[in-house]
Amino acid sequence: MPTLKLFTNIPVDSVIASDILKDATKAVAKIIGKPESYVMILVNGGVPIAFAGTEEPAAYGEVISIGGLNPTVNGKLSSTIAEILQTKLSIDSSRFYIKFYDVERIANGSAVHDGSFGVISWEIDAPIGGGFQETVVDAGLDLVL
């Protein structure tokens, strides 16, 4: 599941957030070559950010995908997401930084039981000391990891 996490110091109302979510979903799916039904986009507005020593409008992004990333794709994603942020939030592309994580299938996933027992999901948050930090969300199940 390709995931794009966006953080900006610009407050984002629900209408603009919806536009960004739609545009970014289409862009990520098309550029990476995965169905839109696999794409997740998160938009976090009003986050305190200092970039290049100022608090002028800025954004930070992370793309996490199981395959589909390479230098050409990353360049296309960078410019397309920067264009969306420029159009929707007036953030100059020089004030946008994005990181890419191409993870192995084993390092990412989710499992859903029939609903009567809850949902378990694993998310790789970020590289930490050469490894990965794992977050486990447990909806009432006893897990042994």
CB atoms within 10 A of CB 39: 21
Domains and CATH numbers, the chain: 2-106+113-122+132-139 (3.30.429.10)
Q: Which two tokens stand for residue 68?
A: 């589909």
Q: Which one, of 45, 37, 39, 48, lies nearest residue 15 by Cα?
A: 45
Question: Long-range contacts: 14-23, Cβ < 8 Å, 24+?
Answer: 16/88, 16/89, 17/43, 17/45, 19/88, 20/84, 20/85, 20/88, 20/89, 23/84, 23/88
Catalytic hit among 2, 35, 71, 127: 2
**pLDDT for the residue 64:** 96
Helix H or strand E segment including 19: helix 14-32
**pLDDT for the residue 114:** 44
Is residue 2 part of the annotated active site? The answer reads yes
**pLDDT for the residue 1:** 86
**pLDDT for the residue 110:** 53
Q: Please give the Cα distance from 51 to 59 (Å, whole number).
A: 9
Q: Please give the Cα distance from 88 to 36 (Å, whole number).
A: 21
**pLDDT for the residue 130:** 40
Residue 135, C-beta contacts closer than 8 angstroms, at least 6 positions apart: 122, 123, 125
**pLDDT for the residue 49:** 97
**pLDDT for the residue 109:** 53
Q: Tell me the Cα Rg of the chain.
A: 16
**pLDDT for the residue 25:** 98
Q: What stretches in the chain show pLDDT beneath 70? A: 105-145
**pLDDT for the residue 118:** 42
